Amino acid sequence: MRAQSAMPDAAASSAAADVLSARLGDGVPAAPGGLLPGLRSFLAGVPDHRRAQGRRHGLASIPGLACAAVAAGSKSLAAIAERAADAPEAVLAGPGVRRDPCGGAWVVPCETTIRRALSGMDAGALDERLAAWLAACAVPGAGLAGLAVDGKTLRGAICPDGRAVRLLAAMTAAGAVAAQRDIGHKTNEITQVRPLLDQLDLRGTVITLDALHCQRDTARYLVQDKGADYIFTAVKDSQPRLFDAPDALPWQSVPVQHVMTDRAHGRDETRTIQVMPAPAGIFPHAARAFLIERHVADLSGSHISAIAALGITSLAPERAGPAGIAAHVRGHWGIENKLHQASETLRRFMTSRPRCGYGPGACWAWRQRLSC
C-alpha cells in the first residue's frame, strides 16, 4: 500500500501548478504582440553534470518539474517526485518530460533520479538562469524602487567540506529575490556585494544594507558605478570615527519628523525618525544622517524595550523625506524577516535531505525565486 502522500491537497494547489507549467515551455502569450519567455529554454543553459552514459532524462526537465511542484506547495523531494508521478499531461509537456519512443507514454523521473540530478547541479548556474527568466518576464520600465541586501546561514544544510551554507541575497520590496550568491568559506558578505549586484541595473534604485556593509568602497560602488542610492540602516560603534560624527549631532534640538505606529503580536510599536544633514566628509556621498528610535510596549501600555539606531544615506531631500527614509528602513527589516522565513521553510525542505553537493543551494535557488 502506498504511504501517506507528502503532497499538499491537489485541489488547493493545482492552479499554481497550471499557471507555472504553462510558462515552462517555449513561450506563452503575454500582451498583444508579445510572448512571455518560457522557462525551459533558460534552464537548458544550466551545465549538465551527469555522465553521458545512461542519461534518460533531459536535465532541464527535472528542475522544470521541481519548479512546478514547489509552486504548487511541495516542500520536499519526496513530494516533488509524487507530484511529478501524478501530474497531468499539460504539466509534463511544459518542461519537456521524456516520452517513450515506442508507445508514447510519459516517462517521469523517479525520486532517486530527481535527487541525484538536483544534488549535483551547479546551484549558481541554476540561480542565474532563474534570475534571467524572471528579468525577461518583468514588466518593462517597472524598475526596482528598493532593494534590500542581506545574508543568511542555512541551518540544517552543509556543503561537502562540512561548512554551513551561507548565501547573500538582494530582495525587492515585493519579496522577490533579484539576485543571490553563495558566500565561500574563504570570504565574507562584504566582498560579495559587488559580484552580487553587478548583474543588475540599479539606476535610480535605493539599496538598503545593515551595519556590516557600511563600507566606503561599497558606498562608492553603489553611487558611482551603479547610479543607485544607499541607506545604511545602522552605524555602529565598531567603526568609532564613523559612529562619533552622527552621534555628536544635536539630536535633542531636532523635532521628530515622522512617527510610525504598529500593533501586532500582542504589542504596540512606535518608531520615530529625525533627519539632519550629514557632517562634511563623514562618508562617501553621504547626504543625510538619521536617528530612528523604536519603542515597544504591551497592550496594557507597559514598557518592553527601546532601541535607537543611527544611519546614513546618500538620498537627497528631494528624492525622499523623513517618511520615505523611514519606509525604506522599515521595509529592510520586513524583507529580512521574509528572507529568513523563506530560509527556514527551506530548512523544512531539507528533511528530504539534499544536504550535500550543490543540493542545498539548488533548493534555495528555486524555493526563493518562486516563493513570492
pLDDT at 225: 95
| Single-letter code of the amino acid located at 23 | R
Coil/strand/helix, residue 110: coil
- pTM flag (> 0.85): no
pLDDT at 167: 80
pLDDT at 54: 82
pLDDT at 69: 82
Q: Residue 123 carries which DSSP code?
A: H
Enumerate the β-bridge partners of residue 258: 273
Q: State CA 71 to chain mean position distance.
A: 15
Interatomic CA distance for residues 369 and 77, integer angstroms: 17
pLDDT at 200: 86
353 preceded by a cis bond (ω within 30 of 0): yes
Coil/strand/helix, residue 165: strand
Interatomic CA distance for residues 209 and 196, integer angstroms: 13
With contact defined as beta carbons under 8 Å apart, do 314 and 219 qualify? yes
With contact defined as beta carbons under 8 Å apart, do 281 and 345 qualify? no
Q: What is the CA radius of gyration of the chain?
A: 23
Coil/strand/helix, residue 265: coil
pLDDT at 326: 93
C-alpha grid cell for residue 142?
517597472
pLDDT at 24: 54
Can you give the residue ranges of every domain in the chain? 10-121, 130-344
- Ordered mean pLDDT values, 10 residues apiece, the chain (372 residues): 44 44 49 55 83 84 82 79 85 83 87 84 75 65 72 66 76 77 80 90 91 94 95 91 93 94 89 94 94 92 91 93 92 70 49 47 54 48
pLDDT at 278: 94
Interatomic CA distance for residues 46 and 59, integer angstroms: 8
